[in-house]
Amino acid sequence: MTSTSSSRPVLRRGDRVFAGTAKGAGILIMLILAGVTVFLVVEAAPALTAPAEDIPGGDGLASYIAPLLFGTLLAAVIALALATPLAVAIALFITQYAPRRLAQGLGYVVDLLAAIPSIVYGFWGVFWLAPKMVPFYRWLEDNLGFIPLFAGPTSATGRTMLTAGLVLAIMILPIISAIAREVFRQTPTLHREAALALGATRWEMIRMAVLPYGSSGVIGGAMLGLGRALGETMAIALVLSVSGGITFNLISSGNPSTIAANVALQFPESSGIDVNTLIASGLVLFVITFAVNMGARAIVNRRAEFSGAGS
């Protein structure tokens, strides 16, 4: 066994095939994204150029999509506001407080939440959560009704924006907590021990060492969750009672729909320009989701430099 040409780099067929497939996969994902963009723009074009009275509602594309966009953002923001603190708390408990065995089991259970289909969340929201929330909403209306968010009148079925936000919050909880868990776990032991050695309590240690280290990861996870919340369709279509325009009232029957849920509800009976209008609303959602992801990336990159966490 003598090697005749040891100077040349060894490039076996397997290497070449693997490099080629990896490159192909990378290019394919760009092509798919470009294809979706082109489809959305081309199909939305008739609605963008159509006269205002042809658009459903009769007041033009902007006033058709505006309440939908508002509803989409409102539901997602509620979900994010509820889910992020809870997810961080769960992640902290699992990584810092819980005994190892419990931590593992709890981690599995939270991850399992991500495996439940969204339509099941929808059913759960409609049949279980919504009716249970009605007394709470009544209480909010009676005691905090002066805040426009809880002005009422309270929905008799509980199928409100707040319920929809709650269901969404539970749906995005596993995404955020899984990422937060990973970054908290990677906090350098030296940082933690240094904090403890200086006489910090456990909470002070978390505040000084774990949270600053993990904050960029938490934000990244929250943005991933936001992406899911923005695009969630079936759960919202089932849970939310959509019969209103732009309103901050979270506990009444009249709520704005979300873009994705509206497409799901209206598409079956739509034809012609109505379909183009729905696709135009989808284009808006696409752009928003894209912007959210870009923004998240920018934040994560900037924070990474400050915190010294690096890559």
**Contact positions vs other proteins (CB under 8 A):** 56, 126-127, 130-131, 134, 153, 155-159, 237-238, 241-245, 252-254, 257, 265-266, 268-272, 274
Quick one: how far is CA 16 from the chain centroid? 38
| Closest CB 226 distance from other proteins, rounded Å | 24
Cβ proximity to other proteins, 91 vs 251, nearer residue: 251
C-alpha distances in angstroms, 3 versus 7, 8, 13, 111, 248?
A: 10, 11, 18, 52, 76
Name 135's Cβ contacts closer than 8 Å, sequence gap at least 6: none
Cβ proximity to other proteins, 122 vs 214, nearer residue: 122
Cβ proximity to other proteins, 3 vs 271, nearer residue: 271
Quick one: how far is CA 104 from the chain centroid? 25
| Closest CB 157 distance from other proteins, rounded Å | 4
Q: How many CB atoms lie within 10 A of CB 243?
A: 11
| Closest CB 311 distance from other proteins, rounded Å | 45
CB contact at 8 A, 242 and 63: no
| Closest CB 109 distance from other proteins, rounded Å | 28
> For 196-218, b where at least 16 C-beta lie within 10 A, e where not — what string?
eeeebeeeebbebbbbbbbbbbb
Cβ proximity to other proteins, 35 vs 135, nearer residue: 135
Cβ proximity to other proteins, 212 vs 254, nearer residue: 254
| Closest CB 264 distance from other proteins, rounded Å | 8
Q: Which helix (H) or strand (E) holds 142?
A: helix 130-144
The SS3 call for residue 307 is helix
| Closest CB 249 distance from other proteins, rounded Å | 10
Cβ proximity to other proteins, 265 vs 304, nearer residue: 265
**Structure token digits, residue 215:** 């904050």
